[in-house]
């Protein structure tokens, strides 16, 4: 079974998974970073491309060094509580 982070670099809808990876690592929506890259690309495309690939190497390195970091944090604490029946567990709502 493959982990979502291991396939982040090879998905068809991303280029290296830089924005998605940084968004997961730092806790923000990746579209904000995509917008920032698009705006900066207008002023200095070479610098943006170089920065993007450098961040791609950083994300790939972090996924290689810490492969299960996000998966282990995704287990809800309330679900592991044996005193609460599963049908009464409150899951967090998406924003």
Top pLDDT among 79 and 24 is at 24
Tell me the C-alpha distance between 63 and 58, whole Å.
9
Categorise residue 24: left if φ over 0, alpha if ψ from -120 to 50, beta otherwise: alpha
Per residue in 7-56, pLDDT (tens digit) is 555 566 667 788 888 888 888 899 999 999 999 999 999 999 999 999 98
On the question of pLDDT at 60 being above 50, the answer is yes
The candidate with the shortest Cα–Cα distance to 21, out of 75, 57, 74, 72, is 57
Structure tokens at 19: 């924005």
Query: What is the model's pLDDT at position 3?
Result: 47
Top pLDDT among 86 and 6 is at 86
């Amino acid at each position: 079974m493959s982990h979502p982070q291991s396939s982040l670099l090879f998905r068809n809808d991303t280029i290296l998974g830089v924005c998605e990876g940084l968004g997961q690592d730092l806790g923000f929506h990746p579209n904000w970073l995509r917008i920032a890259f698009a705006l900066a690309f207008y002023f200095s495309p070479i610098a943006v491309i170089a920065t993007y690939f450098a961040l791609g190497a950083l994300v790939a390195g972090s996924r290689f060094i810490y492969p299960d970091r996000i998966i282990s944090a995704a287990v809800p604490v309330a679900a592991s509580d044996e005193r609460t029946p599963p049908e009464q567990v409150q899951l967090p709502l998406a924003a």
